């Protein structure tokens, strides 16, 4: 296998690629509520630029304000049903029975999503380690993520973030991080150290699929889009990267090894040699 000389950087999404997918938490919540598959994810996407999810990923609102706004966004049954019908029609899918009324608990849903995305993906993790060993590539993460509240000893009158009335005491924050599955550290805490650059939506104030966020990643890593291989689990993000000239790989849920094998072919190097003949 001859290494390709074309690429200088490999950029990974985090949730759904480097670690588990929050979609698993969404699907479990949909099942609990009797909602059609992808109803919630579609409603989140259709929130647009000013949706609670999008604002939280850009670091514009705080956690407790987000919980309330997130639940309200997703509880608009009529509006979200209309978007879901369009989603089904575009894909040639039959429209299932839709809810006349729905109440989404933003905190409970978000907790299920975060707890589903705490474990590292062993196939991707192995690939990253091998890429670093070669010394040929800049390895970066480009993630739509969140800034969680800091642990402070006492409540203060200073807002923790836009929309939150006050920074809560350390015990409350510690308990909330535990609820989200972050008792041993957030996703960022657990994986950040392995990357040359860790580029966060909540820090940069922009998010995928905004082309400016991808160009910012290129600026930080010192490469051109055509010199990048980008891995993500969402088609919308991959399409934006492709339009800029990046080579992309979609990491489908449960098909992480296949994505790494595709990366091997593109780069011309073996990444899973330690796992040959093994099943994780």
CB-based contact 233:142 (threshold 8 Å): no
Amino acid 44: pLDDT: 96
Amino acid 161: pLDDT: 54
Residue 196, token pair as written in the block: 């040359």
In sequence order, which ranges of the chain are alpha helices (DSSP H)?
A: 23-33, 39-45, 52-57, 63-74, 77-91, 106-115, 122-134, 170-179, 187-191, 201-204, 211-221, 235-243, 256-267
Amino acid 264: pLDDT: 97
Higher per-residue confidence, 224 vs 173: 224
Look up the pTM and report it: 0.86
| Predicted confidence (pLDDT) per residue in 145-168, tens digit | 998 876 544 434 334 455 555 556
Q: Say which range, 48-62, 144-158, 184-198, has the weakest mean pLDDT.
A: 144-158
| Euclidean distance between CA atoms 163 and 127, whole angstroms | 40
Residue 264, token pair as written in the block: 């091997």
CB-based contact 249:261 (threshold 8 Å): no
Instruction: Answer whether residue 276 shows pLDDT above 60.
Output: no
| Predicted confidence (pLDDT) per residue in 222-256, tens digit | 999 999 999 999 999 999 999 999 999 999 999 99
* Average pLDDT of the residues in 185-208: 92
Total residues belonging to the chain: 280
Residue 44, token pair as written in the block: 């989140």
Higher per-residue confidence, 189 vs 240: 240
Confidence band for 47, pLDDT divided at 50, 70 and 90? confident
CB-based contact 57:146 (threshold 8 Å): yes
- Reading across the β-sheet that carries 138-143, which strands appear in turn? 197-200, 138-143, 9-12, 228-232, 247-250
Higher per-residue confidence, 121 vs 161: 121
Instruction: Answer whether residue 71 shows pLDDT above 90.
Output: yes
Instruction: Answer whether residue 1 shows pLDDT above 80.
Output: no
| Euclidean distance between CA atoms 77 and 197, whole angstroms | 40
What is the average pLDDT value for the chain, to the nearest integer? 90
CB-based contact 201:145 (threshold 8 Å): yes
Q: Say which range, 46-50, 52-56, 141-145, 168-172, has the weakest mean pLDDT.
A: 168-172
């Amino acid at each position: 296998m001859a290494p390709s000389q074309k690429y200088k950087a490999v950029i990974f999404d985090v949730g759904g690629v480097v670690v588990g997918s929050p979609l698993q938490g969404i699907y479990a919540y949909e099942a609990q509520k009797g909602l059609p598959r992808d109803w919630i994810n579609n409603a989140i996407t259709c929130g647009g630029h000013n949706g609670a999810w999008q604002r939280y990923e850009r670091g514009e609102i705080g956690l407790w304000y987000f919980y309330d706004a997130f639940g309200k966004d997703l509880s608009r049954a009529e509006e979200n049903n209309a978007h879901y019908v369009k989603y089904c029609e575009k894909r040639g899918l039959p429209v299932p029975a839709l809810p006349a009324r729905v109440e989404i608990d933003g905190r409970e849903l978000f907790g299920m999503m975060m707890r589903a995305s705490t474990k590292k993906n062993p196939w991707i993790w192995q690939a990253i380690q091998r890429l670093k060993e070669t010394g040929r590539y800049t390895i970066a993460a480009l993630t739509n993520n969140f800034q969680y509240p800091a642990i402070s000893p006492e409540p203060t009158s200073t807002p923790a973030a836009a929309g939150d009335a006050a920074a809560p005491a350390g015990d409350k924050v510690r308990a909330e991080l535990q609820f989200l599955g972050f008792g041993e550290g957030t996703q960022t805490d657990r994986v950040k150290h392995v990357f040359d650059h860790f580029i966060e939506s909540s820090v940069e104030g922009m998010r995928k699929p905004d082309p400016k966020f991808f160009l910012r990643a290129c600026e930080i890593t010192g490469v051109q889009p055509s010199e990048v291989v980008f891995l993500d689990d969402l088609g919308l993000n991959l399409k934006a990267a492709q339009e800029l000239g990046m080579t992309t790989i979609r990491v489908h849920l449960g098909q992480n090894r296949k994505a790494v094998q595709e990366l091997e072919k593109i780069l011309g190097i073996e990444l899973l040699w330690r796992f040959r003949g093994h099943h994780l």
